[in-house]
Amino acid sequence: MKSPAELKELFENHIRTVFQDDFWKGSLYQPIQYIVELPGKRYRPILLLLTYQAVTGESPERALNAALAVEFFHNFSLVHDDIMDNDPIRRGKPSVHEVYGVNKAILSGDAMFALTFEMLIKDFPEQAVSLIREYTQISVGVCEGQMEDMELPDEAVEDVPISRTLEMLRKKTAVLLGGAMSVGAICGGASKEVVDNFREFGEAVGIGFQLQDDYLDVYGEQKKLGKRAGSDIVENKKTVLLLKAFEKANADQLQRLSALLEEEDDAAKIAGVKAIFAELGIPEATKQLIGTYFDKAQSLSQQLSHLPGYVPIGKFLEAMMQREY
Amino acid sequence: MKSPAELKELFENHIRTVFQDDFWKGSLYQPIQYIVELPGKRYRPILLLLTYQAVTGESPERALNAALAVEFFHNFSLVHDDIMDNDPIRRGKPSVHEVYGVNKAILSGDAMFALTFEMLIKDFPEQAVSLIREYTQISVGVCEGQMEDMELPDEAVEDVPISRTLEMLRKKTAVLLGGAMSVGAICGGASKEVVDNFREFGEAVGIGFQLQDDYLDVYGEQKKLGKRAGSDIVENKKTVLLLKAFEKANADQLQRLSALLEEEDDAAKIAGVKAIFAELGIPEATKQLIGTYFDKAQSLSQQLSHLPGYVPIGKFLEAMMQREY
């Protein structure tokens, strides 16, 4: 069985081979090559290949195009998200709309998405219907997550239940991680039960992962974050931490929290919100919540451990969770 | 066999039934319902249903979701095109980005496109692979056509060969008309030869149709056009008419044409360009070119006339070509 690092190399080689074709020189396709070739962690294709390998017990060369489809989808959604969020930087480089303009970024994104469907099924014609059904659910779910993410800032903090932010995180990120695994399992011909387990497994990891992100934004080491700690607090982002604080706060704390949302001195705002978080035990509660997702992932992992090529998945996810990969 | 008008009614009923589901009330889906419910000619779904009926000799209820997929695709491309072209009006109503904002228009467009893939294959699982392959070609082709359409204005008129504008028209419009027919034929289980014939048939009609559009923009009655005649001339649009004029012009005419491209008085510009068109026989040459596409469609039509339910297609296309439908 190949390790995650070996699969990453296999996948990067596949990308290089695919992009050697002159097809990608056309002006509709250059932006696709640009974004896909930016160095990325390739979590989704690696998860897909690991899952295929787990299910079949075979080296997953046959699933490389399906893995590329999932990576293309991820990149397509980044291209359109960066336009919507007006984000000029992606993976440390100018985002696609900065390089090629908004119109070409919209259109090349559309073409990238269009290409994924045939790419997904071409080496698994016998699974075409299941794959298209699964992939449609995934891609629509990701769009729903992005819509929620765009709409959440317009709502009053006290009106947003934690469940809504969790569902937003699930759709915006976890659905595609779970989807990479469910698609890998379908490619490998797994039973519905195994496919469902992998999907839930990936989603649990994905939600845990995103929650950890929000936790680290407040409590992480600035050096590791690569950005200033506390940016979510400054932006009044409706993270689980903030929503939980609003849920648990007494009248006095509620008043202080509401006042802090309007605070214009960033350092004072971060310090003030963190003080209330500490009073309310928010860091512990958040870590506990993250733990429930990772425990769920762990337990699903055990249920899948009988599969012929299962070995490396757990460790990879553990590494993902610790951000060391 | 159902007539085009009956098929349009059948299709409109299907749309109404589909949109009764609460699913479409979600904020990601409202813009989809908005654009699809704007009154349209429904050429593409009608062509798909006519083709399915032709191939099978059966009433085409089974192909309604595939027809909806093609109509959704068409509407998705309109939503994104209207953003790119900054066009505030669609079918006489505010375009989607005017009503919902650019971000929601991008995202709802993406979701609309995502939904088409499962919609397309769900009632034809046995044709899933052929359908996805065909549909990917179609959708990528339409993106290529839109890219060409965006890039053509930046080029010098004398550098653009007529073949490039024809290829742009083919991809931007004709590919989807041909695609509606090829998809309908595949749904009906037609042979590769019949599928190819339908695709070529639809593309020939589509190119002829677009050329007629460009012809009518200069020579049509203003009342029927619904816009001021000569707008393409005012905008220096690289129509086949203008390119053919550049190709046929002598040195003197070339100089006058080039000067007219810069003319700021619209009426003088239109009159001047039309005078040169007349000198060079451009209206006749364009009509002749349109004729070659419609003749090709006619001849393909005859090759397909043996199919069990073929009857109404020719007349529908004739009506389309005469803009009376």
pLDDT in tens, A79-91: 999 999 999 999 9
pLDDT in tens, B51-64: 999 999 999 999 99
Contact status, residue A55 vs residue A188, Cβ threshold 8 Å: yes
- Listed in sequence order, the residues at least 6 apart from A9 whose beta carbon sits closer than 8 Å to its beta carbon are none
A positions 197-226 inside 8 Å of B (CB): none
Is the pLDDT confidence value at A242 over 70?
Answer: yes
Strands A89-90 and B89-90: unpaired
What is the per-residue pLDDT for A324? 39
Angle at which helices B251-262 and B266-280 pack, to 10 degrees? 160
Average pLDDT over residues B221-247: 86
pLDDT in tens, B21-74: 999 999 999 999 999 999 999 999 999 999 999 999 999 999 999 999 999 999
The reply to whether residue A117 touches residue B111, judged by beta carbons under 8 angstroms, is no
Is the pLDDT confidence value at A144 over 80?
Answer: yes
CB-based contact, A28 to chain B, within 8 Å: yes
* Nearest by CB: B125 against A84, A129, A136: A129
A93: β partners: A90
Q: How far is CA B190 from CA A200, B93, B187, B299, B302, in A?
A: 41, 39, 8, 19, 17
Is the pLDDT confidence value at B325 over 50?
Answer: no
B positions 76-115 inside 8 Å of A (CB): 80, 83-84, 103-104, 106-111, 113-115
What is the per-residue pLDDT for A325? 35
What is the per-residue pLDDT for B228? 73
Instruction: Identify the three-state secondary structure at position B249.
Output: coil
d(CA A119, CA A48): 14
Is the pLDDT confidence value at A147 over 70?
Answer: yes
Which parts of A59-174 fold into alpha helices (H)?
64-84, 96-100, 102-121, 128-151, 162-169
Number of H helices, E strands in chain A: 17, 2
The reply to whether residue A136 touches residue B125, judged by beta carbons under 8 angstroms, is no
- ipTM for the complex shown: 0.94
* DSSP-based helix, strand, coil % in chain B, nearest 5: 80, 0, 20
Task: Give the residue, B47 or B225, on which the prediction is more confident.
Answer: B47
d(CA A101, CA A89): 13
CB pairs under 8 A between A and B: 102
Average pLDDT over residues A1-24: 96
Tracing tokens 């079949």 back to the chain, one arrives at A56
Distance from CA of B144 to the nearest CA of A (A): 6
Q: B56-85: buried (b, 16+ CB within 10 Å) or exposed (e) per residue?
A: beebbeebbbbbbbbbbbbbbbbbbbbbbe
What is the per-residue pLDDT for B221? 77
Average pLDDT over residues A270-291: 97
Lowest mean pLDDT among A47-51, A107-111, B313-317: B313-317
* Nearest by CB: B140 against A114, A135, A144: A114
Among A184, A191, A206, residue whose Cα is nearest residue A303: A191
Distance from CA of A51 to the nearest CA of B (A): 23
Percent of chain A with pLDDT over 90: 87
Is the pLDDT confidence value at A69 over 80?
Answer: yes
Where does the pLDDT of residue B227 fall: very low under 50, low under 70, confident under 90, or very high at 90 and above? low
Which parts of A170-219 fold into alpha helices (H)?
175-187, 192-219
d(CA A237, CA A240): 9
> What's the mean per-residue pLDDT of chain A?
94
> What's the mean per-residue pLDDT of chain B?
94
Q: What is the pTM of this model?
A: 0.94
The reply to whether residue A144 touches residue B26, judged by beta carbons under 8 angstroms, is yes
CB-based contact, B155 to chain A, within 8 Å: no
What is the per-residue pLDDT for B324? 39
Q: For residue B226, with 0-12 CB atoms within 10 Å meaning exposed, 13-18 middle and 19 or more buried, which class applies?
A: exposed
